[in-house]
Structure 1
Amino acid sequence: MIFEIADLRVEAQHVSEFESVVAAAARDYIAKAGGYLRHRILRGVESPNRFVLVIEWGTIEDHTVGFRNSPAYLEWRNRVGPFFASAPLVEHFSVVE
């Protein structure tokens, strides 16, 4: 099991709209991908224009190969990309304990 952690910075004037768009896009595109297990979308308390998307995948390849090389990934990026203030930072983590 692998956790994808995506740190997303959103233009301040688009935060409310982004919340609904990212939730729908995650359901429409990410949640239907092979190897997808579950996700959470978190919004910063101290930095309300910062979001963290946590996606649990069966394997790292489910994300980096399966989803990233699919048409669904392009649709995902087309839906959420225009809101980004900067490029997302995406890293993968495994469970230690």
Structure 2
Amino acid sequence: MILEHADIHIDPQQAAAFEEAIERGARTVISAAKGFQGFKVNRSIETAGRYILTIYWDSLEDHTVGFRESAAFAEWRGIVGPFFKQPPVVEHMNLVCMG
């Protein structure tokens, strides 16, 4: 399993609308992608307007090729992209352990 972490910054005044949009986009667009296993969204306590989106993929290529190079990626960005103050910082991780 591959974990995609996206560090997202938005205008804190838009938090409610963003939270609705990111959940709707993940449930309706990303969840249909090949290799998608699940997602979670965390909101920072210390930094207003900062979120960490974690998406669980079967493989790196399911995200970087299968999803990112598809029309679904443009649809996803159309839903959440207008909220971004800057492009998200995305990093991929291998799951080592989980409790």
Using the size of structure 1 for normalisation, the TM-score is 0.96
Name structure 1 gaps, 5 residues minimum: none
How far apart are the structure 2 equivalents of 1:55 and 1:48? 22
How far apart are the structure 2 equivalents of 1:61 and 1:68? 9
Report the Cα offset of residue 16 of structure 1: 1.2
Report the Cα offset of residue 12 of structure 1: 2.0
Report the Cα offset of residue 47 of structure 1: 1.4
Residues paired across the two proteins, number: 97
How far apart are the structure 2 equivalents of 1:63 and 1:82? 21
How far apart are the structure 1 equivalents of 2:95 and 2:19? 28
Root-mean-square deviation (CA, aligned residues, Å) is 0.8
- 1:3-40 deviation line (CA, Å, top 9, x unaligned): 00000001122111101011001101111100000100
- 1:37-56 deviation line (CA, Å, top 9, x unaligned): 01001111111310100000
| 3-state SS of paired residue (1:31) | helix
- Aligned partner of 1:14: which letter? Q
How far apart are the structure 2 equivalents of 1:16 and 1:81? 15
Name structure 2 gaps, 5 residues minimum: none
Report the Cα offset of residue 95 of structure 1: 1.8
How far apart are the structure 2 equivalents of 1:41 and 1:62? 20
- 1:44-72 deviation line (CA, Å, top 9, x unaligned): 11113101000000000000000001111
Structure 1 stretches of 4+ with a deviation exceeding 6 A read: none
Instruction: Name the % identity.
Output: 43
The residue aligned with 1:19 is 19
Q: Does 1:45 align with 2:39?
A: no
